[in-house]
Structure 1
Amino acid sequence: MIADDTPVIIGVGQFSHKVTDPDYTPLSYADLGGRALAEAISDTSASGGTQAVADAINALAVIRAFEMSRADRKPPFGAPDNVPAAFAARVAANPERLILSPTGGQTNQQMLGEFAADIAEGRIECAAIVGAEAISTVLALSAKGEAPDWSEQRGGECEDRGLGVEGLMEMELFAHGATGAIPLYALAENARRAKLGLSLEEYRLRIGELFEPFTRVAAENPHAAAPQERSAEELATITARNRIVAEPYTRMTVARDQVNQAAAIIIASASKARALGVPESQWVHIHSVTSASELKLIERPALEANPASIASVEAALEMAHTGLGEIDFLDFYSCFAIPVFNQCDHFGLAIDDPRGLTLTGGLPFFGGAGNNYSAHAICEAVARVRANPGKTALVGANGGWMSKYSTGIYSTTPADWSDPATRVRALAKASNGVPVCKGDFSEALVETYTINRNKGGDVAVFIGRTPEGERVAGNADLSDEPTRALFEGGEPFGERLTVTRDGQGRNIGRLA
């Protein structure tokens, strides 16, 4: 007999559409999220009916949309005054607790762990996590000069947990043009390339070889934004359509954020699931959820590494009393190649592991639904283990620039929640950061770099060390021919640059 206060996933739902679909109708992210939440409620197969499930939801967390994830931007079409209340209203739910999550792709899985502990400790009986992105619709309507009103007056209380971007503020790198995920991940990716001793062309092919199987999964996924098989060579070859966005990344190998996608998860206590008439065949047990935070990129001792994500996975496996080799289904967060490579490098996984490394098709091909991608991965994991009773699935959820990580392990096999601390754990942050230079410096040894290919011109960003061993960031002077040749050639690692400050306070490096 499964204990009454055991948390179980009872329903999952996904919804998506494309602006090219014949029956496409523009929907706000609240509308999209409502569709996914309705799907999750229906998925419970509760004999008490869908409204009984909606009525049972005590707490609802909405994953913060991208358009709400930066302090310097406002939603272009407006937003509800109480975002979770707007989502709840789509299914006639009225939860006592309404939460708007912080920013980060790990937040949905973290919320699942938090709600599971709340259920196990008797604070709530049923909760939902839902997120949505309508980025494709926003772009399509904006291009036509249309601006619908997506604002709503819902009122009521909402626990807004804020942006949560404090650990993501890489001011030294932002000041030199590495202001988004693509160049920041590219800096880490090139550090790994340097460690392996590969050329740009060789490494691009490695990325292609990693992602080729992902495209096959995406091609079979009805919710995928780009459901098309592509070869490793096609992904790696630079063309007009597959241009370099930041070395070493081609356009096809970075997260695709132009999507209209939503996903929702409903969890409940075993007693509430029974009361609602949810068949036990629909129950999926949560064996562990861990979370970890990483040092800032510029402070990391090894720029290519992400030890916090490894620690999160290892802790989740330990708490679930299993090993990675015993996991049947895997989804490693794949906004770029390096978060997947990190797991493969540490655990000795082949990139063509027969289990596959994605359940959705991955963020470049399934789609990078803002902060909510891993909710889609959890939905897929639930479907896999329901169809294969007794087997297990692992989902790795990543946030920031490999800044935060959450790991979840799921199975139809029951888990003992008599002590929630053995199922949910937040890991301590490392304290071994490399000191960052706060003053002027005159030379630096290059550790890694990227060339960010912008419409306004190329910008080469490097991370290096001063002779004193402090970390620094700067721009390579591409107007200097020897320096340009060095960086364009892809092998500036270990080279010494002389550094001056320009009128905007930026560090400008030239080949010494």
Structure 2
Amino acid sequence: MTPSPRTPVLVGVGEVSERLGEPGYRRRSPVDLAADAAREALHDAGVDASAVDTVAGVPQFEISLPWATPVLGASDNFPRSVAARIGAGPRRAVLEIGGGQAPQRLVNEFAATIAAGHADVVLLFGAEAISTVGFYASRDDRPDFTESPGGSLEARGSGLDGIVSMHHVAHGLSDTPSQYSLIDNARRARLAMSRAEYAAAIGGLFEPFTAVAAAHPHAAAPVFRDAAELMTPTGTNRPIADPYTRYVVAREKVNQGAAVVLMSAEAARRHGVREEQWIHLAGHADLDERTMVERPDYGNSPAAVRAAQHALETAGITGPELSTLDLYSCYAAPVFIVAEALGVGPDDPRGLTATGGLPFFGGPGNNYSMHAIAAVVRQLRAAPGTYGFVGANGGIMSKHSTGVYTTIPSPFKPSESARIQAELDAVPAPEEALTADGAGVVETYAVKHRRGGEREGIVLGRLDDGRRFVARADTILDLLTTGEPIGERVTVRSTPTGNVIA
């Protein structure tokens, strides 16, 4: 089948990285890293930067969180700064909202934009220099990453609605490990697994990821570790939040950048891009999950499941037909849940990651999945006629974007994400009691571990009147750390500083 002129095709990918203290380290800024990745992507496609009519950037953590201050400074127009570095003069520049879904969501959006005739050559990119920023933050010789390139910018904001609850933050849910542990702990209880069994399952899930990372040239932690090592607490692998140790949570202290080039088939032919370079987006979906307390089952994500399934449906294939996968792996729960939706087991010989995953390859802020897309594209080019899947996740399993890629010519098909989103949103949600008093039951929990050994307990529960609540639970730490708290009856009371388990 010959693709129509407006068919969007992915024609170029690029990645760069550097590590503190290693040969070639140049303390590059996020703009520098993204620009170098963009040059590689354009070179991969064989296209000059002057052809680019649209650029879209994935924001760094420092510029996507309203309360964060760039320690070494930052560009006030990240997409235009990158464009200027590479000699591009795009008519449109976009700064996407934050979240790990951003790279795949941008591919989905701009594939549709190209199909509609509103763009011809689109460059997507992102980068983080968190490792460099952390190292130089308090040094006298720190670099200054401040710049103002000028030009128009379509800035889409932080996108934190439905993700951050200041009420929950006030009760200790201020970090992603503790919030994701709510999901994994609820899932463990639903599966009737012991703590030891579930820890072994997480170790078994991630051991193959470390093997992939060990062979990846841009991995931040290219070291193989077996399941037992991953889950055994030590001085360097301290507990973070039950059931996580440091080794199995996303590694954000990285210096990494990645970029993707999208074109219309017509433009690709005009610029002489060889068709064996072309990758088609055969299926895709973008769905948002309920807020944490509105989810019927804390241990699942209907939006993640439907986003994975719908991308396959749109592509006209099933999970067993995929040859390569990359499932978002900031923590164990997203991998388990999406793998189940695809009908793929943790020990599947195809593997669940193309990069090594966020704990081992590295979690460059919001931009990890741009690296995943690059890795999947390379594998598909090496095996023409096959399909690859990328699942991207933002927030606390809050935003989900998926893509099915292939070398097989495929017409672009709009997804039915809006219809599916309406169905998900129509499910009745429980009410939350901001001030909670009375008897209830524990539905899930988190135990945070401080560096000094102190622990902090948080419970999400349901009052007997059906309303949900969050409460500090230091009074029942023994139950939270050694027993089975989920399903236990408790009494909660409100205080001037928040709800507590009495």
TM-score range relative to shorter protein: over 0.9
Q: 1:267 to 1:424 in 2, by over 3 A?
A: farther
Structure-2 separation of matches of 1:507 and 1:205:
34
2:311/2:402 contact within 8 Å kept: yes
Structure-2 separation of matches of 1:20 and 1:38:
24
Q: Does 1:507 align with 2:499?
A: yes
What is the CA-CA distance between 1:114 and the residue it aligns to? 1.1
2:436/2:469 contact within 8 Å kept: no
2:14/2:41 contact within 8 Å kept: yes
1:494 equivalent in structure 2: 487
Per-residue deviation, residues 372-428 of structure 1 (Å, max 9, x unmatched): 1000000011101111111110100011000010110111100113xx425986741
1:291/1:404 contact within 8 Å kept: yes
Structure-2 separation of matches of 1:374 and 1:83:
19
Structure-2 separation of matches of 1:324 and 1:137:
39
What is the CA-CA distance between 1:232 and the residue it aligns to? 0.4
What is the CA-CA distance between 1:58 and the residue it aligns to? 0.9
Q: CA RMSD in A?
A: 1.5
2:72/2:137 contact within 8 Å kept: no
Q: Unpaired runs of 5+ in structure 1?
A: none
1:473 equivalent in structure 2: 470
1:113 equivalent in structure 2: 108
Q: Does 1:292 align with 2:287?
A: yes
What is the CA-CA distance between 1:473 and the residue it aligns to? 0.4
Per-residue deviation, residues 243-274 of structure 1 (Å, max 9, x unmatched): 11011101100000000000000000111111
Where do residues 337-376 of structure 1 align in structure 2 (5 Å cutoff)? 337-376=332-371
Per-residue deviation, residues 167-189 of structure 1 (Å, max 9, x unmatched): 21223321211112111000111
Amino acid at match of 2:244: Y
Q: Does 1:435 align with 2:426?
A: no
What secondary structure sits across from 1:288 in the alignment? strand
Which shifted more, 20-29 or 300-309?
20-29
Amino acid at match of 1:381: V
Amino acid at match of 2:490: L
What is the CA-CA distance between 1:460 and the residue it aligns to? 0.4
Task: Pick the aligned partner of 1:461 from 449, 458, 461.
Answer: 458
Q: 1:88 to 1:500 in 2, by over 3 A?
A: same
What is the CA-CA distance between 1:444 and the residue it aligns to? 2.5
Q: Does 1:281 align with 2:276?
A: yes
1:289/1:423 contact within 8 Å kept: no
Per-residue deviation, residues 108-130 of structure 1 (Å, max 9, x unmatched): 11111111111111111110110
Which shifted more, 144-153 or 155-164?
144-153
1:290/1:313 contact within 8 Å kept: yes
1:2/1:414 contact within 8 Å kept: yes
What is the CA-CA distance between 1:440 and the residue it aligns to? 3.4
1:154 equivalent in structure 2: 149
Structure-1 separation of matches of 2:416 and 2:262:
15
What is the CA-CA distance between 1:20 and the residue it aligns to? 2.6
Structure-2 separation of matches of 1:65 and 1:85:
15
Per-residue deviation, residues 454-479 of structure 1 (Å, max 9, x unmatched): 2473210110000111110001134x
Which shifted more, 198-207 or 369-378?
198-207
Structure-1 separation of matches of 2:339 and 2:283:
21
What is the CA-CA distance between 1:71 and the residue it aligns to? 1.1
Structure-2 separation of matches of 1:305 and 1:145:
47
Q: 1:89 to 1:424 in 2, by over 3 A?
A: farther
Amino acid at match of 1:9: L
Structure-1 separation of matches of 2:448 and 2:349:
35
Q: Does 1:15 align with 2:8?
A: no
Amino acid at match of 2:461: G
Structure-2 separation of matches of 1:434 and 1:178:
20
1:133 equivalent in structure 2: 128
Structure-1 separation of matches of 2:91 and 2:478:
61
Q: Does 1:218 align with 2:213?
A: yes
Structure-2 separation of matches of 1:89 and 1:317:
38
What secondary structure sits across from 1:192 in the alignment? helix
What is the CA-CA distance between 1:225 and the residue it aligns to? 0.4
1:290/1:426 contact within 8 Å kept: no
Q: TM-score, normalised by structure 2?
A: 0.96
Structure-2 separation of matches of 1:105 and 1:221:
21
Q: Does 1:177 align with 2:172?
A: yes
Structure-1 separation of matches of 2:265 and 2:448:
51
2:163 equivalent in structure 1: 168
What is the CA-CA distance between 1:22 and the residue it aligns to? 2.1
What secondary structure sits across from 1:383 in the alignment? helix
What secondary structure sits across from 2:372 in the alignment? helix
Structure-1 separation of matches of 2:34 and 2:341:
36
Q: Unpaired runs of 5+ in structure 2?
A: none
2:440 equivalent in structure 1: 444
What is the CA-CA distance between 1:4 and the residue it aligns to? 1.2
Q: Does 1:382 align with 2:377?
A: yes
Amino acid at match of 1:12: V
